Structure 1
Amino acid sequence: MPSHDDFDFRTIDGDVYVSPRYLAGTTAIGDPALAPLRDLGWNLDHDDLGNAYLNAPDRKVRLGYLPEGEDDGLWRINAYKDPFGPPTWGVCFNDSCPTEFVRAFTTALAEAYEQGPNAYLAAPDLGHADRDPFHAVAPLIKRGWQTDRSRGGVFVIQAPDRLAGLEFTSGRLDPETELTTRNARWHMWAGTSIDRPAWYATASTDTPVVLLKAVTECVSDPTPLPRWREETYSYVQGMARLTPVIPPRPLAPTPLDVQRASARRPAALTTFTVPRWSTTSRPALPGPRR
């Protein structure tokens, strides 16, 4: 458990820490994940249902925040070589995914977008050292995730407690299926069952490795996430560790603080005596009005 001084208490939002963080659940607030792209000046639109859409200035990257969408895909991000063509790659985070994981992705996407199309459209490539798909898996391996099985061309790696995992599917996949179902090249989830996960995220074949790595780094980070206890889901309460947030210790007053407090304190009353009362004394005579 991180020590008291490891956190900036101005940024804490919650009364418990949830560990491991992949069992934290969503914050149900989209703004933190939208912020990295909005800070670049991306255009934000809304529809009549309350869905939000972010578009890059060149219209080659689009994000949809879809609380009123047709399925549980709350976050959908697509990139295009041609603004009027099919997506080059697509990523989806469902409505239970911790918002911090989405923000990790959008932060990396913002950095890649500023570098240009060669960065945000850089498909994984074994022939390029910095685009090797293994880089997306490396953070998990370094933090103790282990290969679970490899079946039918599907590589699976799971967290030590087996409550989160990542699937990588080899071979050819249908581009349309990757964008509209969970049968994508990359599939990450948490919970006791891959068929009914607590949350999931998918990424299609040509999603840049640097964006995928940002997510796996965030998911496997051992630092717990803050949440409000009454909003933690039942599956979290049964499997995750919930630790109360320790409030910040008050700072000791400095000599200047003491001096200022003394200056504000009213002068002591030395010319007025408060009459003492007892059961045998008569009421004091009224004195002059102050």
Structure 2
Amino acid sequence: MTSQPYPHREIDGDVYVSPRHLASSTFTGDPALAPLLDLDWDLRHDEDGNVFVSAPDRGVRLGYLPEGTDDGLWRITAYADPFDPPAWGVCFNNNAPTEFVTALTTALAAAYQQGPDAYLARPQAGTDERDPLLAIVPLLKQGWNFDRPRPDVFAIRAPDHLAVMEYTAGNLHPGAELTTRTARWHLWAGTSIDHPLWYATASTNTPLALLTALTQSVADPTPLLRWRQVTSSYHKGMAQLTPIPAPVPKRPTPLDVHRAVGLRRPAALPTANVPRWSTTSQSAAPTPRR
């Protein structure tokens, strides 16, 4: 899809956002929850509006936490044993594009149906099928470039330099991977790692299938649909916004004109039989606006 950038002050209503890593959240969790709820996972919520979803065997848990203690809106963890620490964990903050979360939960639902060997499958460096660095292949195919921001970090950066996926080498603290941004995988967008537009993290043992589903969604060149007024992430000079053109009115055909003329009431008929609006008439209910 090709388009020209528009001045942001002139844009209103629904827009297409490109590149999609600058689209921010849709601020509704339903699309990302749906793949798991379709498998009849248990859904609960607390009085603050936080939502908790658990697999039937309690092997995977998801928290949608709009009233959590930090900006980690989505937290997903998997367990080899319900009483063990998480085998892996993924976090998306509150501004992460919902489509990226949905891509991961869709892959998670497919892996769960295959069993623990799939949703607990650890990546293995140096293998042909489970090397963790295979997760960056979708990004490489879209022109992302390698970078080395720090000695222990390998990164791949978007062509516009406004999104980065980092892989940290060496040993990491398992607890820190689950509760901070110091994780094996760190995906973020914006101009500053300290103040990103949004971020996502994935711990060391996150299955390759889930990582790849995420990077495929990020790399997809298709713009994302957003409502312009409800987001603050479309910074001038960064995202390209394309207004959705208004539908072109259909031109009446000769047959339409003929039917319209044929249905008109002759002027000679008495007007007493023609209903008219009066102060006692009930007006139609207004059509609700978004």
Shared fold, TM over 0.5: yes
Partner of 1:109: 108
Structure 1 pair 267–197 and aligned structure 2 pair: CA distance change class (3 A): closer
Q: Is the 8 A contact 1:30 1:99 kept in 2?
A: yes
Are the counterparts in 1 of residues 124 and 131 from structure 2 also a CA contact under 8 Å? Answer: yes
Q: Summarize the Cα distance change of 1:191–1:251 in structure 2 as closer, same or farther, 3 Å threshold.
A: same
Indicate the residue corresponding to 2:50 in structure 1: 51
Give the Cα separation in 2 of the matches to 1:44 and 1:62: 10
Distance (Å, rounded) in 1 between the aligned partners of 2:249 and 2:226: 23
**Contact 2:24–2:233 under 8 Å retained in 1:** no
Match of 2:159 in 1: 160
- Tell me: CA distance 1:179–1:289, structure 2 relative to 1, closer, same or farther (3 Å): closer
Q: Does 1:171 align with 2:170?
A: yes
Q: Deviations over 1:20-57 (max 9, x none)?
A: 11011111111111011111111100011110000000
Distance 2:25 2:80 in 1: 31
Deviations 1:148-188 (A, max 9, x none): 22632210110011100011011111100100000000000
Q: Identity of counterpart residues, as a percentage?
A: 62
**Aligned-partner SS, 2:66:** coil
Q: Counterpart of 2:17 in 1: which secondary structure?
A: strand
Question: 1:288 and 1:267, CA in 2 relative to 1: closer, same or farther beyond 3 A?
Answer: closer
Q: Does structure 1 residue 85 correspond to structure 2 residue 84?
A: yes
Could you tell me which residue of structure 1 aligns to residue 229 of structure 2?
230
CA-to-partner distance for each residue in 1:32-87, whole Å, 9 max, x for gaps?
11011111111100011110000000000000000010100000000000011110
SS in 2 for 1:131: coil
Q: Structure 1: how far apart are the matches of 2:99 and 2:30?
A: 11
Residue 234 of structure 1: CA displacement? 4.9
1:269 and 2:266 matched: yes
For structure 1, list consecutive stretches of 5 or more residues without a partner in the other structure: 4-13, 274-286
Q: Which amino acid aligns with 2:266?
A: L
Count of residue pairs the alignment pairs up: 264
**What SS does the aligned partner of 2:235 have?**
helix
Matched residues in 2 for 1:159 and 1:114: separation? 33
Greater displacement, 149-158 / 54-63: 149-158
- In 2, Cα distance between equivalents of 1:94 and 1:174: 20
Give the unaligned 5+ runs of structure 2.
4-12, 274-290
8 Å CA contact 1:49–1:68 kept in 2: the answer is yes
Counterpart in the other structure of 1:209: 208
1:118-138 CA deviation, whole Å, 9 max, x = no partner? 111101013542211122000
Q: Which amino acid aligns with 2:61?
A: R
CA distance 1:262–1:136, shift in 2 (3 Å):
same
Counterpart CA distance in 1 for 2:221 and 2:33 is: 24
Distance, in Å, in 1 between the alignment partners of 2:155 and 2:139 is 11
- Matched residues in 1 for 2:215 and 2:92: separation? 13
The normalised TM-score by structure 2 is: 0.83
The whole-number CA distance in structure 2 between the counterparts of 1:202 and 1:119 is: 20
Residue matched to 1:191 = 190
* C-alpha contact 2:197 2:233 (8 A) present in aligned 1: no
Cα distance in 1 for partners of 2:216, 2:16 equals 19
Aligned to 1:119: 118
TM-score (normalised: structure 1): 0.83
Separation in 1 of the partners of 2:36 and 2:82?
18
